Structure 1
Amino acid sequence: MLLVWIVLSLPVVLNAAPAVQFPFGTVRGVDRRAQGTGRVYYTYHGIPYAEPPVGRRRFQPPEPYRGADPGRVINSNDFPAICMQPESEEFGATSEDCLFISVYAPPTNATKKVMVYIHGGGFTEGGMRGYVPGRMVTDHEVIVALIQYRLGALGWLSSGDDVLPGNLGLRDQLLGLKWIKDNIARFGGDPNDITIFGLSAGGISVSSLSLSPLAKGLFTKVIIQSGSVAAPWAINKNPRALMYQYAEAIGCKPRFYFPGVTRMYHQNILNCLMRKKASDLVFEIGSGDGDVLGRGLFSSSGLNPVLDGDVLPMDPVSIIKDETYLRDNGVFDRSYVIGVTNNEGLLLANIIAAVPFLTFDQLTLPSNVIGQVRGSAKAQFPLGVSEEMLNVVDFMYTFPRNADGSIPFQKVIDLPSDIGFVAPSIALARAIADNAPVYFYLFDHYPQALLSLVPVRYQHLLRRVPKSLRGLDGNCQK
Structure 2
Amino acid sequence: MEQLKRFLFIVICIALCPSFIITEDVDPNPEVDTKNGRVRGTVHYTINSTKPVYTFYSIPYAQAPTGAGRFGKPTPAQSWTGIRNATEIAHACVENGPVVRMMLNTPLALHNRIPMPQRFDIYSEDCLELDVYTPNTTGKLPVLFWIHGGGFYLGTGHAYNGTALCTFTDLVVVSINYRTGHLGFLSSGDEHMPGNMGFFDQVMALKWVKNNIQAFGGDPDRITVAGESAGSWSVSSLLVSPISKDLFKRAILQSGSINTDKLINENPRKKFDGIVKLIGCANETLEDTIQCLRTISIDEISKVGPQFESDWPTIDGEIFPEHPRDLYLKTDFSDKDVLAGVTEDEGFMFLGMPVETGRIPENMNNSYGRFILEIIQGLTSYMREDAITIENIEKIATEYLENNASADTASEELLKETSVDIISDLAMFFPTLNTTRTIKGMGGNTYFYVFSHSPSFAALPRPAYVDSTHFDDVFFMFGVGFLDKWIDEGKGYVFSDAEQELSKQMMQYWANFAATGNPNGDGLHNWPEYDVDNQKYAVIKPNISSSQIDFQKKFNYWKEFMANIEAKRMKVEPETTPEPTQPTGSSNQLSWRYTNIFIYMAVHIFVVLMS
Q: What TM-score does the superposition give when structure 1 sets the normalisation length?
A: 0.79
CA root-mean-square deviation = 3.4
2:440 to 427, 433, 436: 433
Structure 1 ranges of 4+ moved more than 6 A: 371-377, 379-385, 453-459
Per-residue Cα deviation, 1:13-42 (whole angstroms, up to 9, x for no partner): 434353112343210121111235342110
SS in 1 for 2:26: helix
Trace 1:336-355 onto structure 2 (pairs within 5 A).
336-348=338-350, 350-351=352-353, 353=355
Query: Which residue does the alignment assign to 1:445?
Result: 453
CA distance in structure 2 between the partners assigned to 1:204 and 1:133 by the alignment: 21
For structure 1, which segment, 103-112 or 227-236, has the greater mean C-alpha deviation from structure 2 after superposition?
A: 103-112
Trace 1:212-251 onto structure 2 (pairs within 5 A).
212-251=241-280
Deviation (angstroms), 1:365: 3.7
For structure 1, which segment, 450-459 or 136-145, has the greater mean C-alpha deviation from structure 2 after superposition?
A: 450-459
Instruction: State the one-letter code of the partner of 1:213.
Output: P
CA distance in structure 2 between the partners assigned to 1:450 and 1:144 by the alignment: 26
Instruction: State the one-letter code of the partner of 1:395.
Output: T
Does 1:54 pair with 2:56? Answer: no
Deviation (angstroms), 1:416: 2.0
Does 1:395 pair with 2:394? Answer: no
Deviation (angstroms), 1:82: 0.5
CA distance in structure 2 between the partners assigned to 1:106 and 1:120 by the alignment: 25
CA distance in structure 2 between the partners assigned to 1:36 and 1:454 by the alignment: 31
Contact 1:326/1:332, CA 8 A, preserved across alignment: no
Does 1:63 pair with 2:75? Answer: yes
1:301 to 309, 326, 341: 309
Cα distance 1:52–1:365, how it changes in 2: closer, same or farther (>3 A)? Answer: same
Q: Which one scores higher on RCO, CA 8 angstroms, separation ≥ 6?
A: 2
Q: How many residues align?
A: 422
For structure 1, the 5+ residue unaligned runs are 1-6, 257-264, 288-299, 356-363, 470-478
SS in 1 for 2:311: coil
CA distance in structure 1 between the partners assigned to 2:268 and 2:349 by the alignment: 24
Query: Which residue does the alignment assign to 2:291?
Result: 271
Per-residue Cα deviation, 1:300-339 (whole angstroms, up to 9, x for no partner): 624121111210122222222x2xx302xxx331100111
Does 1:195 pair with 2:224? Answer: yes
Query: Which residue does the alignment assign to 2:606?
Result: 463
Instruction: State the one-letter code of the partner of 2:339.
Output: V
Contact 2:134/2:166, CA 8 A, preserved across alignment: yes
Contact 1:365/1:406, CA 8 A, preserved across alignment: no
Trace 1:70-469 onto structure 2 (pairs within 5 A).
71-85=81-95, 86=97, 87=100, 89=104, 90-91=116-117, 92=119, 93-107=122-136, 109-254=138-283, 265-285=285-305, 287=307, 301-320=309-328, 322=329, 325-327=330-332, 331-348=333-350, 350-351=352-353, 353=355, 365-367=367-369, 370=372, 393-397=396-400, 400-401=405-406, 408-434=415-441, 435-452=443-460, 461-466=604-609
Cα distance 1:141–1:384, how it changes in 2: closer, same or farther (>3 A)? Answer: closer
Instruction: State the one-letter code of the partner of 1:211.
Output: V
CA distance in structure 1 between the partners assigned to 2:297 and 2:388 by the alignment: 45
CA distance in structure 2 between the partners assigned to 1:464 and 1:11 by the alignment: 42
CA distance in structure 1 between the partners assigned to 2:210 and 2:123 by the alignment: 27
CA distance in structure 1 between the partners assigned to 2:384 and 2:603 by the alignment: 30
Contact 2:137/2:215, CA 8 A, preserved across alignment: no
CA distance in structure 1 between the partners assigned to 2:385 and 2:156 by the alignment: 35
CA distance in structure 2 between the partners assigned to 1:232 and 1:391 by the alignment: 19
Deviation (angstroms), 1:146: 1.1
Between structure 1 and structure 2, the one with the greater Rg is 2
Deviation (angstroms), 1:403: 5.2
Contact 1:192/1:219, CA 8 A, preserved across alignment: yes
Deviation (angstroms), 1:279: 2.3
Instruction: State the one-letter code of the partner of 1:338.
Output: A
SS in 2 for 1:211: coil
For structure 2, the 5+ residue unaligned runs are 1-18, 105-115, 358-365, 467-598
Instruction: State the one-letter code of the partner of 2:185.
Output: W
Contact 2:137/2:216, CA 8 A, preserved across alignment: no
SS in 2 for 1:366: helix
Q: What TM-score does the superposition give when structure 2 sets the normalisation length?
A: 0.63
CA distance in structure 1 between the partners assigned to 2:196 and 2:47 by the alignment: 36
Cα distance 1:373–1:106, how it changes in 2: closer, same or farther (>3 A)? Answer: closer
CA distance in structure 1 between the partners assigned to 2:186 and 2:385 by the alignment: 26
